[in-house]
Amino acid sequence: MNGFPYLLILVFLPLVGAGVVAAMGKSPARVVKMTALGFSLVELVVAAALWVAYRHSETGAGGGTSLPNTTPSFTQTFSVSWIPTFGIHFSLGVDGISLVMIALIAFLVPIVLGASWEERLPQGRTIGGYFALILVMQAAMTGVFAATDVFVFYVMFEVMLIPMYFLIGAFGGVRGTYAATKFFLYSLIGGLLMLASIIALFVASGRVPSRVAAGLGGTLDWATLRSIAHEIPVSTQLWIWAGFAIAFAIKAPLVPLHTWLPDAGSEAPVGAGTLLVGVLDKVGTFGFLRICLPLLPAASTKLAWLIITLAVIGIIYGAIVAAGQSDLKRFVTYTSIAHFGFIALGIFAFTTTAISGAVLYMVNHGIATALLFLVVGMLTARGGSRNIRDYGGVWKVAPLLGGFFLIGALATIAMPGTNSFISEFMVLIGTFSRHPAWASVATVGIVLAAVYMLWIFQRTMTGPVAGAAVVDPEVDAADPFLPADGDRGGPVLTAPAHAPAAVKLRFGDLSKREIAVLTPLVVMVIFLGLYPKPVLDVINPTAARTVAQSCHLNPVPAAVGAKSGGYSSTSTITEGTCQ
Amino acid sequence: MTSHLLGAELLAVAAPLINPDAAVPSATGVAGFAGLLLLLPVLGGVVLLVGGRRLDRVGHIIGCATVIVAFVLGLLIFLATAAANSADRVHSLHLWSWFSSGGLNVDLALRLDPLSLTFVLLITGVGSLIHIYSIGYMSHDPDRRKFFAYLNLFVAAMLLLVLANSFISLYFGWEGVGLMSYLLIGFWSDRPAAATAAKKAFLMNRVGDVGLLLATFLMYKELGTTSYAGVFAGIGQVPPGTVTVIALLLLLGACGKSGQVPLQAWLPDAMEGPTPVSALIHAATMVTAGVYLIARSSPIYDLTPDARLVVAIIGTLTLLVGSIAGCAKDDIKKVLAYSTVSQIGYMFLAVGLGPGVYALGIVHLLTHGFFKAGLFLGAGSVMHGMNDDVDMRHFGGLARKMPITFWTIMAGYLAIIGFPYFSGYFSKDPIIEAAFSAGGARGVILGGAAVLGAGLTAFYMTRLMIMTFFGEARWKNLKSADGRDYHPHESPLVMTVPMIILAVGSVAAGALLVYGNRLVNWLSPSVGAYEEPHLPVAKIVITLGTLLAVALGVVVAYLLVGRKPVPVTRPEPVSPLVRFARADAGGNAINEALVARPGVWLGGALVFVDARGVDGAVNGLAAGLGGLSGRWRRWQNGFVRSYALSMLSGTFLVIAALLVVRFA
């Protein structure tokens, strides 16, 4: 609780920003938007400073070679008593896993705001309201990742729903209300189950021998719960675990709890959808890492088979169903369901490589999906349709749009050289060393990913120019394909008045604003594909710690194990500490 | 935190391994600049793509210059290595640490040894020639700059593939060439056939990639490393059954990339790409990567005769399937494509016959690189002069209209059929001999099939020569698909000079490489020492038998095709054998029946299940349970209040519950 309060600022600055933006009311839209963007950029700077401070404290504490077990779990901690009766503190802190997620949010929000700059909003909605809600989302999401008290985690988890609910319901597409309600109901059920588990956890923590002996009651402080995790009986852990796991499996989402996501993701406005799929859903997989593995290790070990099964089914199932979609945005959400399968698989493989890979996957997928989702949004804004059949040969008409789409597609199918390859590879190789059969089935997912992605690319981007991209040369002989109108930006959305009814919408290539929005994402895709070390250096120690906290040892290669008389490749700790 | 837990956490991070990579000496001198081999073409490609239209005028110059400079650098490194003592020809060059986690450490590092340097020369040498040729071939294409960008990036990825020092870095290059192949096959992206062929190529490659990935995973599980040095040092400790599995998984990857049975059907379709692409990627370099992979993994294959036998069988099957299908095609590029399939079959046969003869596969790979690239460039030159037509039934009598093209193709023709003292004769015959020396029934079957393949090769190549260059000038009475008359003409110098250089290579390369076992001895630090096969009969018998088969193929082709006018349309009906060959020897039908149709069906079924089943069940459940659908509507009306209320009640609930627990 010393030093600069980075986390407090990161959580509350966007809230202040949202308040300011919402209060600006009648100000010119441009000023409102610049204000929101300004807040998000300051947030990004603070997040960068936090990153630097974290790295500094990490190397400083142990003289540069600190082992993960010699340092406390969290740094940059902040804590004030909140509900003293139950020992609940409003506590924040970061470890390697939450730091990269917080940085991801801070990186994505300015991009999302930039991408939503000229969003066409439903009647009666203002851009100020839209941007304010996104900033509220940012605050809540940052809060979830920074929470070090299970109750704070829960509150943030629930608060996060509110802005997203309005973003989908009030700013979304024609079926927005349906999608928002579905999103809300799913989340409500998950939230209630989690609530029950939290109460149970509180009770159980008050009954473990060490706390009874010391005359202490229940607690929801993460570090305390961690220290008594092995004392909670397995049978109790299983029930508590189930409530959390269902909540997280809805959020992540794992098949068969996934059907809210395609509706929510496709009806949400593009910016909100990007944050939904890119970040908000990762709260589910993050919950597995933060709550299930360290606090309920025995249950996590016992029921890992269940999550692994669902994860592998999700990888295959999500990919196949994605290939069959006719709606571009629904397509992107189904690809994400397949990717969430990889993340969950990596987490429950309990190896450092797989868990590091899963965390890196959460970051990389956030970046890659943002790229893909935003490009798809720019495409559908031009064509006025989300239906794949309304497009054809776009690459010819809008080469830049096609090029960015291609890079997003390649990142989605984990092409080496893009960031996603590293994380997918780490998940698979890390899982293979413990569960060769499951990892092998999951590897088939790389073929299916290529199937759905290349098929979409072929149908929308290649072939003869068709559908929404068609331009009648008779009408606009002077400017055939409408050169990118850089200064004004944005697509031309209505057919010219003199055009005959048969002429479809005109199609411009990306504007300068759109290029500026997408370029940072592409840079990150390639940079993290070639040199992920800065991020992995942050993740690895925490991942190794999480493996240990889940009571597992990394498998040792058979040849090495034979030499050193070491462990078999599936050995787990069976000492008293880990039931 | 309790003390035993500390121990566990310590163990979880500790999986350090001995590092055999350190045993490979670092590259010094000119080899220390090997990173530039990759950097130059990458920079070229990126600059051309990012630079956009303003570089249209100079794009081809940048594209050619970077590859030519890379060739010169590669040559210097080659010479420096060749000058060194034969024990000091394997070096590594560390670029940067790519990623690491737990026990996994992956460096981007290069392995400079005789095998990789041989490939560097092939890739940059033939690559330079094809770049130059493309200046002329693509001169009228508005996207020529983009073409050169892709071509540059392909060269970079291919160089990474052969220079990588671990299976993971190899995979980087492996996928990179696959991507560039995809983009270049589909270069004319507004043609649906090109887009479909590109996708097909990528997908069938990915099927193979699963094999390569799983092999890598298995190596890591067993040995804790994926670098060549580490794997080859430890592979002896791995149980034999596992070694065989690794070898077979690698073979699956090799089959995908190299168009071997059962993953061969994409390669002929890949001819939708511009012809220089067919020459560089789909004849000389990328498709031979499978052979490279097996030769590179020779320490693994050395230990598993079973897997080697499978390699040899796959190669034999492929060389037959390819040459049979090639006999019936009328599209000049498809004939050459099936010819490539079949020639790579010979290379697989050779590497499958190891140990001791892996190098023969590489020798044939190099000579094939020359003559097949030359044949493709020649075919491109014919198309250039014939309104981009590829149907040999429309050709005829072109020898006098395009003499340089004719003579360069003639050199390639003599080389590929194995005419004495042309390069194919030097590189293919040793493979046939090695096949016979496998002994017993195995030797007779493999060797016999290889001889039969030689005869079929002579047949389809002679047929190609006759239909294109001899006989009646059928084009005189025809119009091309775009309604123009044919005016066959010779191509400009920028195209013919590379063709001439490759033709010289087709004639001379065999003698240069093979005499005194020059190449096989040079490769021995990489793939093991060469052993002369023990022949069951005198060498001259096999040589004469092979020549007899070749002569038969030529004569039969002359009798069937050369003595009567070639019909302008395909004759129908034909015998079942011809029908079989026209239908790609069953390749596509098998893919359709086994993969494509079930896949489409499963996709449709799952989409239905997802919409009606999973989601329907959820919605139905919601509707069923206490009339939720009614409430659903109410929520829609006053969602603000309702949500606030439910949040509030949730919070109350938790506090109430906590109070109960606290005071119970």
pLDDT above 90 (res B641): no
Segment A274-301 shows an average pLDDT of: 93
The shortest C-alpha distance from B59 to chain A (Å) reads 17
What is the structure's pLDDT at A85?
A: 80
Closest CA to B365 of B301, B305, B285: B285
pLDDT above 80 (res A63): no
pLDDT above 90 (res B151): yes
What is the structure's pLDDT at A144?
A: 95
Segment A162-189 shows an average pLDDT of: 84
Report which DSSP code applies to A387: B
pLDDT above 50 (res B5): no
What is the structure's pLDDT at B308?
A: 92
Weakest-pLDDT range from A419-428, B416-425, B513-522: B513-522
Other Cβ atoms closer than 10 A to B152: 30
What is the structure's pLDDT at A198?
A: 92
Report which DSSP code applies to B226: -
Q: Which of B102, B179, B650 sits opposite A353 (nearest CB)?
A: B102
What is the structure's pLDDT at B649?
A: 63
Instruction: Search chain B and give the residue with CA nearest A397.
Output: B190
**A165 chain-B contacts, CB cut-off 8 A:** 639, 643
What is the structure's pLDDT at A148?
A: 92
Segment B354-383 shows an average pLDDT of: 89
The shortest C-alpha distance from A156 to chain B (Å) reads 12
Phi and psi, residue A79, nearest 5°: -155, 130
What is the structure's pLDDT at A569?
A: 38
Segment A8-25 shows an average pLDDT of: 91
User: What crossing angle do the helices spanning B305-328 and B332-352 adopt, rounded to 10°?
Assistant: 160
Instruction: Search chain B and give the residue with CA nearest A351.
Output: B102
Closest CA to B37 of B79, B86, B76: B76
**A393 chain-B contacts, CB cut-off 8 A:** 189-190
**B238 chain-A contacts, CB cut-off 8 A:** 558-559
Segment B148-154 shows an average pLDDT of: 94
Report which DSSP code applies to B502: H
**A432 chain-B contacts, CB cut-off 8 A:** 214, 217-218, 220-221
Weakest-pLDDT range from A327-331, A556-560, B429-433, B484-488: A556-560
The shortest C-alpha distance from A260 to chain B (Å) reads 8
What is the structure's pLDDT at B653?
A: 61
pLDDT above 90 (res A103): yes
What is the structure's pLDDT at B537?
A: 80
Segment B460-483 shows an average pLDDT of: 85
Residue pair A394/A401 in contact (Cβ under 8 Å)? The answer is yes
Under the banding of pLDDT at 50, 70 and 90, the label for residue A105 is very high
Phi and psi, residue B92, nearest 5°: -125, 155
Under the banding of pLDDT at 50, 70 and 90, the label for residue B426 is confident
Under the banding of pLDDT at 50, 70 and 90, the label for residue A465 is confident
What is the structure's pLDDT at A434?
A: 92
What is the structure's pLDDT at B620?
A: 62
pLDDT above 60 (res B214): yes
More confident residue, A527 or B629: A527
Q: Which residue has the tokens 């789409």?
A: A405
Tokens representing residue B65 in the block: 């210059």
More confident residue, B21 or A347: A347
Cβ–Cβ of B213/A443 closer than 8 Å?
A: yes
Segment B98-123 shows an average pLDDT of: 91
Share of chain A above pLDDT 90, in %: 47
Task: Determine which of A321, A418, A564 to mutate to test the interface with B (most B C-beta atoms within 10 Å).
Answer: A321
What is the structure's pLDDT at B131?
A: 94
| Cis before B16 (ω within 30) | no
B544-557 per-position pLDDT tens digit: 989 999 999 999 88
**A543 chain-B contacts, CB cut-off 8 A:** 101-102
Cβ–Cβ of B5/A548 closer than 8 Å?
A: yes
What is the structure's pLDDT at A311?
A: 94
> How open is the CA angle A383-A384-A387, to the nearest 5 degrees?
80
**A577 chain-B contacts, CB cut-off 8 A:** 2, 4-5, 8
What is the structure's pLDDT at B146?
A: 92
* Helix count and strand count (H, E) for chain B: 28, 2
Residue type at B303?
Answer: L
DSSP string, B525-590: HHH--------SS-HHHHHHHHHHHHHHHHHHHIIIIISSPPPSS--SS--HHHHHHHTGGGHHHH
Q: Which of A403, A422, A553 sits opposite B99 (nearest CB)?
A: A422
The shortest C-alpha distance from B634 to chain A (Å) reads 11
Cβ–Cβ of A531/B98 closer than 8 Å?
A: yes
Q: Which of B12, B202, B661 sits opposite A352 (nearest CB)?
A: B12
Segment A111-118 shows an average pLDDT of: 92
What is the structure's pLDDT at B52?
A: 82
Report which DSSP code applies to A279: I
Instruction: Search chain B and give the residue with CA nearest A424.
Output: B213
Under the banding of pLDDT at 50, 70 and 90, the label for residue A575 is very low
User: What crossing angle do the helices spanning A96-115 and A512-530 adopt, rounded to 10°?
Assistant: 160
What is the structure's pLDDT at B220?
A: 93
What is the structure's pLDDT at B470?
A: 87
DSSP string, B251-314: HHHHHHHHT-TTS-THHHHGGGS-HHHHHIIIIISGGGHHHHHHHHTHHHHTT-HHHHHHHHHH
pLDDT above 60 (res A482): no
Report which DSSP code applies to A552: B
Assign A5 to helix, strand or coil: coil
Cβ–Cβ of B190/A439 closer than 8 Å?
A: no
What is the structure's pLDDT at A492?
A: 40
More confident residue, B28 or A154: A154
pLDDT above 70 (res A398): yes
What is the structure's pLDDT at A2?
A: 57
What is the structure's pLDDT at B562?
A: 78
Report which DSSP code applies to B387: T
Tokens representing residue B571 in the block: 């004759």
Closest CA to B646 of A32, A176, A192, A572: A192
What is the structure's pLDDT at B2?
A: 39
Element (H, E) at A344: helix A328-347
Q: Which residue has the tokens 């995908």?
A: B256
Under the banding of pLDDT at 50, 70 and 90, the label for residue B424 is confident
Task: Determine which of A95, A160, A221, A320 to mutate to test the interface with B (most B C-beta atoms within 10 Å).
Answer: A320
Kindly tell me the burial class for residue A50, based on how many C-beta atoms sit within 10 Å of its own C-beta (0-12, 13-18, 19 or more): buried
What is the structure's pLDDT at A499?
A: 39
In three-state form (DSSP H/G/I as H, E/B as E, the rest C), the secondary structure along A318-336 is HHHHHHCCCEHHHHHHHHH
The shortest C-alpha distance from A196 to chain B (Å) reads 8
**B615 chain-A contacts, CB cut-off 8 A:** 259
Cβ–Cβ of A324/B218 closer than 8 Å?
A: no
Q: Give the pTM.
A: 0.89
What is the structure's pLDDT at B621?
A: 58
Task: Determine which of B10, B46, B48, B99 to mutate to test the interface with A (most A C-beta atoms within 10 Å).
Answer: B99
B259-315 per-position pLDDT tens digit: 888 888 888 888 988 999 999 988 889 999 999 999 999 999 999 999 999 999 999
In our burial notation (b when 16+ CB lie closer than 10 A, e otherwise), range A198-221 reads bbbbbbbbeebeebeeeeebbbbb
Kindly tell me the burial class for residue A502, based on how many C-beta atoms sit within 10 Å of its own C-beta (0-12, 13-18, 19 or more): exposed
Tokens representing residue B443 in the block: 């030797």
pLDDT above 60 (res B98): yes
Tokens representing residue A374 in the block: 């935003």
More confident residue, A328 or B535: A328
Q: State how far the Cα of B302 lies from the Cα of B240, in Å rounded to an integer.
A: 11
What is the structure's pLDDT at A102?
A: 95
More confident residue, A570 or B583: B583
Cβ–Cβ of A577/B9 closer than 8 Å?
A: no
Q: State how far the Cα of B430 lies from the Cα of B347, in Å rounded to an integer.
A: 11
Residue pair A449/A409 in contact (Cβ under 8 Å)? The answer is no
What is the structure's pLDDT at B159?
A: 95
A416-463 per-position pLDDT tens digit: 999 999 999 999 999 999 999 999 999 999 988 998 999 899 988 888
Contacts of A233 (CB under 8 A, 6+ apart): none
In three-state form (DSSP H/G/I as H, E/B as E, the rest C), the secondary structure along A347-381 is HCCCCHHHHHHHHHHHHHHHHHHHHHHHHHHHHHH
What is the structure's pLDDT at B161?
A: 95
pLDDT above 70 (res A163): yes
Report which DSSP code applies to B33: G
pLDDT above 50 (res B664): no
What is the structure's pLDDT at B66?
A: 94
CA R_g for chain A: 24
Tokens representing residue B462 in the block: 């002679």
What is the structure's pLDDT at B637?
A: 46
**A227 chain-B contacts, CB cut-off 8 A:** 1-2
Phi and psi, residue B471, nearest 5°: 75, -160
pLDDT above 70 (res A577): no
